[in-house]
Amino acid sequence: MLQLFKRHPNASITWAHLGLGRIVKPPVEYGKFFEKILADPELKHVNFDISWDEVAKYLTSSEQAVANTARIINLYPDRFLFGTDNVAPASQEKHLNVYHMYDPLWKMLTPEASYNVRLGNYERLFDAAAKKVRAWEAANVGKPKKAPDYTPASGMRKE
């Protein structure tokens, strides 16, 4: 996955659910894996989404898990986004369940990190995306494009 991310440095990538799935329990050293990504200058375009109750249950499973998560987010406050990722919640209360699962984490974040994770990073990323889309449209819409000679599904260049 990391090689794929590195091949596309101009893409804004948000890795949903910290890369976890419904039946994927994070390995013990998962935090170190993310710190490696966060510290890599070639991966500054990669952000992480902490939405979904399946993610929240791991990140808040113990005081140590919350402390580890807060430490990493506080070190890299511009790289994380919160979202609920609820499927058809029946009420506002149900919609906020995931948010409240993170209450212990919210208390341990710096004011800057707390703001960025909940709102600031969305504003920054979506505002930048809107500008990139408008620039792409201005450069490409209505203009003929030559198909590339080689476009593999893998994204790897032909040697």
Note whether residue 157 is domain-resident: no
Note whether residue 48 is domain-resident: yes
pLDDT at 157: 64
pLDDT at 33: 87
Note whether residue 127 is domain-resident: yes
CA distance 147 to 23: 40
pLDDT at 88: 77
Tokens of 86: 């609820």
CATH code, domain carrying 51: 3.20.20.140
Which residues in the chain show pLDDT less than 50? none
pTM of the entire predicted model:
0.82
Note whether residue 55 is domain-resident: yes
Which DSSP symbol is given to 129?
A: H
pLDDT at 155: 63
Element (H, E) at 14: strand 13-15
Note whether residue 148 is domain-resident: no
The answer to whether 13 touches 44, Cβ cutoff 8 Å, is: no
